[in-house]
Chains A and B, each alone.
Chain A
C-alpha cells in the first residue's frame, strides 16, 4: 500500500461502478463485462507501475540488441559520412505502430543531431510527414542543434504502396545510406525494402507489429524488434522512468495473461472431461 493516492482512486472507481450497477447500469453492454474489467485492471496495473517508477523504484529491463544497435548504426553512418534512412511504415497516424515509429524517430533524430549525421525520412502519408517533422524539429532543438534541422529531411513520396517502395528503393540505390531503419506498419513492401537495403550493404534495423512481415525482416535485416519490443523501444531509448514503469507493467500483465491461459486450460479440460466446474470459454469469448 505504498501508493495511497492510487488505491484511493481505484477504490473510488470501484465504488462508482458499483453504484452505477445498482442503479440498473443503463446503456452498459453486459456481455462485455469481463472485457471491461480486464481493461480496467490492465490499465490500473500500468498506472501502478508507472507511478512506482516515478517515485524512484528501479526496474530491470532486459537488454534488447536491436535497440543497442540503433546508436551503433548512427555511429557507423557518421564514420562513413553517409545518411541514415528512416522509414516509418506505410500507414497513417491512426495506426498505433505508425505513432510508435514516429516516437522512435524522435530518439533517432536526437542521435543524428548529436553525431551531426544526415537523416532522410521518406513518408507515405501527409499527416505522418507533419508529425515526423515536428518530432525531428523537437529532437534537434532539444539537442541544441536547431540549425541542423532541415524541413525537407522528412519528405513525402506517395500514398501508394508499391510506388512508395519504388521511391524508397531509388533513394537507397542512389544515396547508399549506411543505415536503414524500418519502424512502423508494413505490408508486402517490407521485403522489397529490406532486400534492397541488404544489397547496398547498409546496417538494417526493423521494428514492426505486422505479424506477417516479421519473418521477412528477421531474414533480411541485421536486427529486428519483434512485436512488443517495438512498442517498448521508446522506453528503452529515452530511459524515462514513467515509460520504463509502463514496460514493467506490461510484463506483469503478460504474466497475468499466462496465468489465466494455464488456469483456463485446466478448467476447460476438467469441464469437458468430467463435467466439473463451468465453461470458462463463455466468459473469455469476445462478443
Chain B
C-alpha cells in the first residue's frame, strides 16, 4: 500500500510544487529542470510505455483474427500494417546506405518508410480530416435549426458573421439591411397583434422612414455603420463573442488551477485509486 499510495502522492506533491513555485525562482538549475528536464523525463517514460501500447494493440488484433470475432477482417489489415511498419522501420530501408543511413531513412525520400508515410499514412489522415467538412455541415444544420429564441439568435449571428466576413458582405448596403429589419419587425408585430392593418401601418411607416433617410443622406453603402454587415460582424466577433469566450476561459483556468492544487496537496487521490 505504501508503494502504491504514499509514494505516488509524495512524487506528485514534490514535482508539482517544484514546477509551480519554480516559476518564481531565478536559479538556472531549477529553471532547467522545469523547462527541459521534467518534460524530457516524461518523454522518456512515454517512449518506453509505447511498447506496452503496441503489444496491447497487436495482442487484441491477433485475438480477434484467431477467434474470428466480428470485423476480424479489419484486424488482419491492422496486423499486416503493423508488421509492414516494423519491417520498413527496422529491417528494410529500400535504398543504399549512400542515399540514407539507418535512422535518417524515416525522413529520406525514396525509402520504404517514407513511401509508406507519403502514400499510405498521409492520404488516410487527410481523408479523416476531410470528413470534418461534412460533419461541420451536419452539425451546423442541427445547431442552426430554428427551435427557440437562442437557436434563432445563433442562426442570425452565424449568418451575419459568415456574410460579413466575405467580400460580398461589403457591397450589401446598410439600407437594404434596414429594410430587412423593418420587414422582420413587421412579422413580429403581426404575430403579437394579429391584425393586418396594424402590421401594414407599421411596415409602411418603417419603409417610408428608411426611404426618406436614404434620400436625405444619398444612400451611402456603409452608413449608418450599425446596419453595415462588416461592422456588425466585427462587433459580434470582438465583443459578445470575446466576452463569452473569456468567461469560459477564466472558468477553465480556475478549474485547472484548483484541480492541480488538489492533486499537489493530495486532496484528490482518485487517479491512483481508492
* Chain A neighbourhood of B57, CB < 8 A: 155-158
Give the residue among B74, B142, B256 with the most A Cβ atoms within 10 A.
Answer: B256
The prevalent SS among residues of A at the interface is: helix
- Contact A135 to B271, CB < 8 A, known contacts A188-B129, A227-B248: yes
Assembled-state Cα–Cα distance A261/B57 (Å): 50
| Stretch of B208-216, B218-226, B228-236, B261-269 with 4 or more beta carbons under 8 angstroms from chain A | B261-269
* Chain B neighbourhood of A170, CB < 8 A: 71, 74
A230-278 interface (Cβ within 8 A of B)? 230-232, 234, 238, 242-243, 246-247, 249-250, 253-254, 257
Assembled-state Cα–Cα distance A39/B70 (Å): 53
Q: Is the CB of A129 within 8 A of B267?
A: no
Assembled-state Cα–Cα distance A131/B262 (Å): 18
- Contact A135 to B261, CB < 8 A, known contacts A188-B132, A234-B268: no
Q: Is the CB of B251 within 8 A of A227?
A: yes
* Chain A neighbourhood of B132, CB < 8 A: 188, 191-192
Q: Is the CB of A243 within 8 A of B139?
A: no
Assembled-state Cα–Cα distance A122/B187 (Å): 51
* Chain B neighbourhood of A211, CB < 8 A: 245, 248-249, 252
**Count of B interface residues, CB-CB < 8 Å:** 59
A28 interface neighbour in B26, B49, B70, Cβ under 8 Å: B26
For residue B259, which residue of chain A has the nearest CB?
A231
Q: Is the CB of B262 within 8 A of A92?
A: no
Q: Is the CB of A219 within 8 A of B143?
A: yes
* Chain A neighbourhood of B265, CB < 8 A: 43, 46-47
Question: A71 at the A/B interface (Cβ < 8 Å)?
Answer: no
Q: Is the CB of A129 within 8 A of B56?
A: yes
A193-205: CB near B (< 8 Å → 1, else 0) gives 0110000000000
Assembled-state Cα–Cα distance A238/B128 (Å): 37
* Chain B neighbourhood of A163, CB < 8 A: 124-125, 128
Least distance between B39 CB and chain A CB atoms (Å): 8
* Chain A neighbourhood of B255, CB < 8 A: 209, 227-228, 230-232, 250
B120-161: CB near A (< 8 Å → 1, else 0) gives 000011001101100110111011000000000000000000
Q: Is the CB of B263 within 8 A of A99?
A: yes
For residue B262, which residue of chain A has the nearest CB?
A246
Least distance between B94 CB and chain A CB atoms (Å): 22
B271 interface neighbour in A129, A131, A230, A250, Cβ under 8 Å: A131
| Stretch of A3-11, A62-70, A75-83, A100-108 with 4 or more beta carbons under 8 angstroms from chain B | A100-108
| Stretch of B17-25, B107-115, B176-184 with 4 or more beta carbons under 8 angstroms from chain A | B17-25
Question: B274 at the A/B interface (Cβ < 8 Å)?
Answer: yes
Least distance between B232 CB and chain A CB atoms (Å): 20
Question: B250 at the A/B interface (Cβ < 8 Å)?
Answer: yes
- Contact A219 to B259, CB < 8 A, known contacts A32-B23, A211-B245, A257-B250: no
For residue A138, which residue of chain B has the nearest CB?
B273
B29-49 interface (Cβ within 8 A of A)? 39, 42, 45-46, 49
Q: Is the CB of B258 within 8 A of A250?
A: yes
Question: A165 at the A/B interface (Cβ < 8 Å)?
Answer: yes
**Interface contacts beyond A126-B49, A142-B274, A194-B139: sample of 18 additional A-B pairs, CB < 8 Å, sorted by A:** A28-B26, A43-B261, A50-B267, A103-B270, A107-B270, A138-B274, A155-B57, A159-B50, A159-B53, A162-B128, A162-B129, A174-B70, A191-B139, A192-B128, A226-B251, A228-B254, A231-B258, A234-B270
Query: Which positions in A face B, CB cutoff 8 Å?
Result: 27-29, 32, 35-36, 39, 42-43, 46-47, 50, 92, 94, 96-97, 99-100, 102-103, 106-107, 125-127, 129-131, 134-135, 137-138, 142, 152, 155-163, 165-166, 170, 174, 188-189, 191-192, 194-195, 209, 211, 214, 216, 219-220, 226-228, 230-232, 234, 238, 242-243, 246-247, 249-250, 253-254, 257
Q: List, sorted by A's number, 12 A–B pairs whose CB atoms are closer than 8 Å.
A: A27-B25, A27-B26, A35-B24, A46-B261, A46-B265, A99-B271, A103-B268, A152-B60, A163-B128, A209-B252, A228-B254, A243-B268
